[in-house]
Structure 1
Amino acid sequence: MKRIISTVLLAVCCLVVTAANPAAWPVSPKAGNLEKEATVLLRKQILAEAAWAMKQAPVTITDASSPRSAGGKHDFFSEADYFWPDPKNPDGPYVNRDGMTNPDNFVAHRKAMIRFSKVIGALASAYKITGDEKYVQQAVKHFQAWFINSATLMNPNLLFAQAVKGKFTGRNYGIIDTIHLMEVAQGALVMEKAKAFDKETAKGVKKWFSAYTLWLNTSKPGIQEKTVKNNHATCWAMQVASFAKLCGDENMLDSLRNSYKTILLPNQMGNDGSFPLETVRTKPYGYSIFNLDAMTMLCQILSTPKDNLWDFETADGKSIKKGIAYLYPFIADKSKWTLTPDVMYWENWPVAQPFLLFGAVQYKQANWYAAWAKLDHQPQVEEVIRNLPIRNPLIWL
């Protein structure tokens, strides 16, 4: 009897240790080739979205303007989402209402950029699975309009993003708006070897992203955003990683790997795998998802055989695998969420979050893949789309 009890206790202890340590998890026996399964699952959607993209003419920021912008025709402009007119002083400076999106803000430039991302993401995805260069030919038109044509291009800076009426003509926090250029950059990387992607256009695209990356690293707003302590810093690093990879900037990529290991992951993740700076917000669920997606993308973009961030773990046990393991149960069953529901868009999350797919592929976890596969792959709510820059996962695999 004592031997039986000892055996049971040992088994229980092993289960507890394994559950608390994601690195000790066994590979799911049903994982298979998840990348191939994802391709099969998304193929019909990709071809339908690419058919739509083939019919779209370029629309850049020069097609819309706001009288509240302090910039010019070629300057991206947006307004801070959570700032509203002051009821006590309606004509005065706006006031902050954290988590509450002001529907009267100017969003035309942001919508144009998201549309651009959708077009390029769809075309690049279709090209990747079919090899048909008609998709590249169409993408080139949009690349030229946004980055090369002097009449329609966007200046490579965000000096006037997320402005606040009566207070700021632009803020460093607005830099997060260009996370929607990530799939543009990755799309260019996927298509750059195609014959239809002429050298001059490819050169112009890389020149623009190189200039923007320089601005992100040297301007006052860029430096401020880089050093913010929450998801803004993660998203700064995520997009710079994407742009630097397109431009082949190995020094920048090395610097970002170091930042992930020494600053972003250790300073933002709690010992349980959560992100305390996000869970104290008025939308803790949505922000936790958003930041985990961004952290996961850093691993996806920056990892190399010699420096695999998917395997990295801090001295006190923090890792991207622990982060996914923490949030996954609340994605699989949102009713288990123990914190206050988000003040807005609670019902619209989760969708097919990239951290589930990329984590599943990397760690061969079929349950993560199954959760991703069942979720919405074509969200229509604008706020969800704004916080979901990775909508075409196959171009990242």
Structure 2
Amino acid sequence: MRKYLIITICILFANIAQAANGDEWLKQAVIARRADIVTKAQWAMQQQPVTVTVASSPRSAGGIHDFYSEGDYWWPNPASADSPYIQKDGQTNPDNFVAHRQAMVRFSRVVGALAAAYVAEGKKEYLEHARKHILAWFVNADTRMNPNLQYAQAIKGRATGRGIGIIDTVHFIEIAQALRIMEKAGVLKDADLAAVKSWFAEYLRFMTEHPYGKDEMNAKNNHGTCWVMQVAAFSSFLQDKKWTDFCINRYKEVLLPNQMAGDGSFPQELRRTKPYGYALFNLDAMATVCQILSTPGNDLWKYTADAGKTIGKGIAYMYPYVEDKGKWPFAKDVMYWDEWPVAHPFLLFGAAAYNNENYFRLWQKLKHDPEVEEVLRNLPVRNPEIWMVKL
């Protein structure tokens, strides 16, 4: 038994070292989360593709291949059932149509889990199963999703879709990263890879040219951050230097200087009715931007904006409130206060960027497998290990 255990550990180290060129933080992360990675991969291997074509809403202005969602915080007007919906910030309407978003989150969970298992164990069967889901969503004529979000975050009586709906595809960023791993592993046929890249190229055009995309890019809070995070992930998969460079400049010139206060907080998030959850979400997204775009010659982890603003300062600001939520100096979130924090990727990315063991230990002990839908919706990076692989 002991001999078998030693052999298993040696194989594990060999696979991780091959995947990451010996990156010590990736090794530690995979070893710390190995049981979770294996469990999720076993679940993912049993899942079959479910795309937007399996469900529809009579309120959608789109067709069967169009993604549709409704604004989370919009409710029927009690004064009149036929009047336009009214807003209740931070309070999710449980009667909204969410089937497409649930399918997208499930897709991300499946493919992300399989990619993480490949990073940990080096077995191509994980990626081969992920391929089935990739083809169903992006290639197969009967089941593919159209590459736009014209009907996302609709509001009854007010809008058939909105720019802020683009945030729904944050769950495609781990798909894009998994695709980079799959491309390097050679598990996609040339024609299939070309078709998938064509889908993402068209969606990137929608995000950067459609009025909805431009509106989202210019959002001054987490929506603007998530636009950059998505464009960074998709353009990296496409090797589109024009847009990766744009995102680097956007981070330096807009996101960091305009969203962060001098103490490392995000005032636009703190003024919301769920300040804790939104602060965590925006920090995760901004840290992921740094993880995607940083290179040895252009390290965003070290970039300093005006008043000494750095992503490191943002992590240092939130760290004590993640370690002990009871110290949070602002109002409690109106919903889901008890569900946060979880194993936020900014902790692992920050540990690696700043060689900080405290960040790593906190990430290690927090919950890595949340099941609450609201948490999953606001945690697009669930497998941070796949973002630490050298590609």
TM-score normalized by structure 1? 0.91
- Residue 363 (structure 1) aligned with residue 364 (structure 2): no
Q: State how far apart, in whole Å, the 1-side matches of 2:255 and 2:186 are.
A: 39
Aligned residue in 2 for 1:275? 266
Distance 2:306 2:44 in 1: 47
Q: Is it true that 1:184 corresponds to 2:175 in the alignment?
A: yes
Give 1:239 deviation, angstroms: 0.6
- Per the alignment, residue 298 of structure 1 pairs with 289
Contact kept in structure 2, 1:143 and 1:201, CA below 8 Å:
no
> Which among 29, 44, 49 is matched to residue 40 of structure 2?
49
Structure 1 position 199 matched with structure 2 position 190: yes
1:137 to 114, 128, 140: 128
Q: Deviations over 1:282-312 (max 9, x none)?
A: 0010000000001101100011111110000
Query: Is the partner of 2:258 in helix, strand or coil?
Result: helix
SS across alignment from 1:192: helix
- Contact kept, 8 Å, 1:140 with 1:201, in 2: the verdict is no
Q: Return the letter of the residue paired with 1:351.
A: V
Q: CA deviation at 1:135?
A: 1.2
Quote the sequence identity (%).
55
Structure 1 residue 322 corresponds to structure 2 residue 324: no
Confirm or deny that 1:231 pairs with 2:222.
Answer: yes
2:6 aligns with none
Give per-residue Cα distances to partners, 1:77-108, cap 9 Å, x unaligned: 00000000111122211000000000000000
- Deviation larger for 87-96 or 58-67: 87-96
Distance 1:34 1:124 in 2: 18
Q: Is the 8 A contact 2:166 2:216 kept in 1?
A: yes
Residue in structure 2 matching 1:382, options 368, 373, 384? 373
Q: How does 1:57-96 map to 2 (within 5 A)?
A: 57-96=48-87
For residue 115 of structure 1, what is the aligned residue in structure 2? 106
Question: How big is the alpha-carbon RMSD for the aligned residues of Structure 1 and Structure 2?
Answer: 1.0
- Give 1:116's aligned amino acid: F
| Residue in structure 1 matched with residue 28 of structure 2 by the alignment | 37
1:391 maps onto 2:371 in alignment: no
The letter of the residue matching 2:380 is P
3-state DSSP of counterpart to 2:69:
strand
In structure 1, the partner of 2:245 is 254
For 2:305, give the aligned amino acid.
T
Q: Is the 8 A contact 1:352 1:375 kept in 2?
A: yes
Give 1:241 shift. 0.4
Counterparts of 1:269 and 1:358, CA distance in 2: 19
Deviations 1:208-234 (A, max 9, x none): 111101110000100011001110000
Q: Distance in 1 between matches of 2:331 and 2:186?
A: 53
When Rg is computed on C-alpha atoms for both structures, the one with the higher figure is 1
Deviation at 1:200, TM superposition (A): 1.7
Given the alignment, which residue of 76, 96, 104 partners 1:105?
96
- Shift of residue 53 of structure 1? 1.2
How far is 1:56 from its partner?
1.1
The offset of 1:315, in angstroms, is: 3.1
1:375, distance to aligned residue in structure 2 (A): 0.5
CA shift digits 1:237-287 (9 cap, x unpaired): 001100000000011101110010001110000010000000000001000
2:51–2:100 Cα contact (<8 Å) kept:
yes
The CA distance in 2 between the partners of 1:383 and 1:373, in whole Å, is 22
Conserved in 2, the CA contact under 8 Å of 1:61 and 1:76?
yes
Question: How many equivalent residue pairs?
Answer: 366
Distance in 2 (CA, whole Å) between partners of 1:266 and 1:315 is 6
CA distance in 2, matches of 1:130, 1:200: 27
SS at match of 2:145: coil
Partner in structure 2 of residue 219 of structure 1: 210
**Aligned AA for 1:162?**
Q
- Within-5 A mapping of 1:335-374: 335-374=326-365
C-alpha contact (below 8 Å) 2:257/2:306 kept by paired residues: no
Whole-angstrom distance in 2 between the partners of 1:290 and 1:124: 23
What is the CA distance between 1:196 and its match in structure 2? Answer: 2.8
Distance in 2 between the 1:315 and 1:167 partners?
Answer: 40
Determine whether 1:146 maps to 2:144.
no
Look up the equivalent residue of 1:59 and give its one-letter code. V
Provide the rounded CA distance (Å) in 2 between the counterparts of 1:366 and 1:41: 13
Distance in structure 2 (CA, Å) of the matches to 1:358 and 1:348: 22
Structure 2: 5+ residue stretches without partners: 1-22
Contact 1:127 1:191 in 2 (8 A): no
CA shift, 1:359, in A, is 0.2
Q: What is the CA-CA distance between 1:35 and the residue it aligns to?
A: 2.3
The AA in structure 2 aligned to 1:283 is: K
Separation in structure 2 between the aligned mates of residue 366 and residue 222 of structure 1, nearest angstrom: 39
The CA distance in 2 between the partners of 1:34 and 1:137, in whole Å, is 27
Partner of 2:8: none
